[in-house]
C-alpha cells in the first residue's frame, strides 16, 4: 500500500510560491535597511497619500472649472457688446 501525501513531492507551484515568498522577504528587508524603520511604507501611509492626491486633483478640477466659467462669461459679455449687423 502506497500513501502519498499532498506535500510529499515538490511541484512547480510549490517552488514558485517559495521563490515569491523569499523575494518578498528580501525586498522587505532591503526596504527597511535603505529607508529606515520610521520611513517604511504602510497601508495607512499609502491611504493618506491617496487621499491627498484625490484632494489635489479635486482642487485642480475646481480651478479649471472656475477658469472655464470665467472664459465663458467673458465670451458671452463680448458677444453682447458687438453690434449686430
How would you label 29-62 residue by residue, b for 16+ Cβ within 10 Å and e otherwise?
Answer: eeeeeeeeeeeeeeeeeeeeeeeeeeeeeeeeee
Angle at 37 between CA 33 and CA 39, to 5 degrees: 100
- pLDDT over threshold 80, residue 43: yes
36: phi > 0 → left, psi -120 to 50 → alpha, else beta; which?
left
Mean pLDDT across the stretch 59-71? Answer: 96
Would you give the distance in Å from CA 58 to the centre of its chain? 16
Is the model more confident about 21 or about 4?
A: 21
Amino acid at each position: 500500500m502506497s500513501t502519498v501525501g499532498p506535500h510529499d513531492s515538490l511541484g512547480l507551484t510549490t517552488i514558485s510560491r517559495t521563490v515569491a515568498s523569499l523575494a518578498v522577504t528580501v525586498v522587505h528587508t532591503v526596504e527597511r535597511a535603505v529607508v529606515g524603520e520610521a520611513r517604511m511604507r504602510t497601508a495607512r501611509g499609502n491611504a493618506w497619500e491617496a487621499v491627498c492626491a484625490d484632494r489635489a486633483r479635486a482642487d485642480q478640477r475646481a480651478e479649471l472649472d472656475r477658469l472655464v466659467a470665467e472664459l465663458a462669461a467673458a465670451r458671452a459679455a463680448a458677444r453682447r457688446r458687438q453690434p449686430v449687423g
